[in-house]
Amino acid sequence: MLAFAEITEVPVVDPANQSSHSALGLSFGLPFDLQDWIDEHRHELKPPVANRLLWSGADMDVMIVGGGTSRIDFHDDPHPEFFHQLEGSMVLRLMDGPGRPPRDIEILAGEVFLLPSHVRHSPRRVDPAGIGLVVEFIRPPGVVDGFEWFCERCYHLLHRVEVQVGSIVKDLPPLFAAFSADLEARTCEKCGEVHPGSG
């Protein structure tokens, strides 16, 4: 058997030969050109979903997220979230705590940002030309996400739901629709302001 240093030529995996890389256990495939992928899927990165997973079945969700959407909820993620804005810009609105006004962080093309767990955040991707990469952890059983809505006048916490998120793409829209339909949840018990319930 040759020592590693004696191997002068290591073969490169042939992308055209499927069996060569599946034998290596590369179930998520080989490297690919992300810009080509974005150009091919650009039409799918539009509202209302504007979100595509790059790989399924991994322990992390790596997503490409388009622009032209604006959420009104604030997400309480039990894990950190990684943002890399590829094109255009996005705004991450952060809550400083109930009763205190939010603050915006702008993430510009080329910039990366790591959001710590549990920091309440609301992605405002109002730039329709925005394209970003987001990485989130898969939540283990029993680890729940929180979604919160705040009064737009006095920033009192109006409503919070906690769910076990299985699919970021599929599980969230029903939560948002339920809040929009719930006048009682949208009405501030502190100042009486009614949250519009949508962006």
Contact pick of 191, 194, 198, 199 for Fe ion (by CB under 5 A)? 191
Nearer to Fe ion, 111 or 193 (CB): 193
CB 150 to Fe ion: min, Å: 8
125 vs 66: CA distance, rounded Å: 8
Q: For residue 9, what are the CA distances in angstroms to 3, 24, 31, 129? A: 13, 18, 21, 45
Nearer to Fe ion, 50 or 151 (CB): 151
Interface with Fe ion includes 118 (CB under 5 A)? no
Q: Which one of 52-60, 111-119, 133-141, 143-151 is the stretch in contact with Fe ion (CB under 5 A)? A: 143-151
Site string for Fe ion, 146-175 (x = CB under 5 A): -----x-xx-x-------------------
Nearer to Fe ion, 49 or 154 (CB): 154
* SS3 state at 139: coil
Q: Which two tokens stand for residue 17?
A: 């030969």
Nearer to Fe ion, 44 or 189 (CB): 189
Tokens 């319930």 belong to 197
Contact pick of 65, 131, 157, 188 for Fe ion (by CB under 5 A)? 188
Which residues touch 128 (CB under 8 Å, ≥6 apart)?
67, 68, 88
Residue 170 is which amino acid? K
Are 144 and 75 in contact, with CB atoms under 8 Å apart?
no
Interface ranges with Fe ion (CB under 5 A): 151, 153-154, 156, 188, 190-191, 193
